[in-house]
Amino acid sequence: MTDKNSEQLQLIVGSIRDFARENILPNVNEWDESQFFPMQLFNALGELGVMGVLVPEKYGGAGLGYHEYVAIIKEISKVDPSIGLSYAAHNSLCTNHILTFGTEEQKEKYLPKLASGQWIGAWGLTEPNTGSDAMRMKCTAEKDGDYFVLNGTKNWITHGKSGQVAVVIARTGELLDSKGMSAFIVERGTKGFSAGKKEDKLGMRASETAEMIFDNCRIHKSQLLGEEGQGFQQAMKILDGGRISIAALSLGVAIGAYEAALSYSKERKQFGQPISNFQAISFKLVDMATKIEASQLLTDQAAELKNNNKKVTKESAMAKYYASEACVRIAEDAVQIFGGNGYTKEFPVEKFYRDAKLCTIGEGTSEIQKIVISRHIL
């Protein structure tokens, strides 16, 4: 694991920046307009060696730490946040869940495919009627000899349609029992596992979000992750790391919007001078830059704790809460600086504005982050 200012990190950032400029930037508007999920792009990121950034080399991963992971998400998201979102969900949710709680056999079977980008992963916790209230989930896994039979629906699932493998949390015990849920690895093609509708979204439109439906889907007990009844606790631990991902995603959105606004403010002239000369505009840019700096420091702190296997629940919630709320304000200010142009699809800030909002909702809303933080400070 490397220092956040190391030479290795700068090399990774440079190669991701070049990759994004060449392979993502020319397609941003087209993918957004058509809600196209570019599966081949993730295969290419796999060839670049970053689809298993946290996965040890023995399973085909890059064996890197959270500072590198944050930097990669940030670089991708500065160009297209929806690609950053899919990249984060694949790495921190599905892949990381198998890495953290899988048996040696499960790791050897799935991690090389996920880390190479040959497969993309999905992670299913949310249901139509249970978002933050996960303990009321209705998706069940009933024991039948050496098998579990899954029934129910998961929604708002990143890669719910295209993911070749999903980690699914289902109820194996009583309602409202935190030890009444278990996690399973389910492969696409398993009988009774299908994709439902794909969501038509405000932003993050090139990141696929779809339902996963289980209809008498039989899974062998060897697909259970960890022990029966540990699913909820596992999910909460995975979300601790996932919140660092969303903080990094928020940073990417914020920096992308800020850099576009900064550059535009120097070029756009009104009353015979660049608009950046006006205090109203320069003060907006000051607020944006300060919020980005604060978001970065909170995210780096959480990444450092995670790298050292220290408790990170409060710090990752703070980073996610602050950075996500900040990126919405920054994207909004960027649109304002662009004026009428900011409201058109010809300029990039309109898309950053739409994409930003998801950061305050995904992987625990801002309100849930406040609950998590308040429990720690009280």
Which residues form the catalytic set?
363
Strands (E), the chain: 121-124, 140-144, 147-158, 165-171, 181-187, 193-198, 209-220, 224-225, 269-270, 273-274
Locus of tokens 């719910």: 160
Distance CA(347)–CA(341), nearest Å, equals 7
Task: Compute CA distances 130 → 25, 114, 127, whole Å.
Answer: 36, 28, 5
Distance CA(3)–CA(7), nearest Å, equals 9
**How many residues would you count in the chain?**
378
Q: Closest by alpha carbon to 119, among 48, 39, 64, 214?
A: 39
Residue 29, number of CB atoms within 10 A of its CB: 14
Distance CA(301)–CA(291), nearest Å, equals 15
- Residues forming a β-bridge with 220: 147
Distance CA(213)–CA(193), nearest Å, equals 6
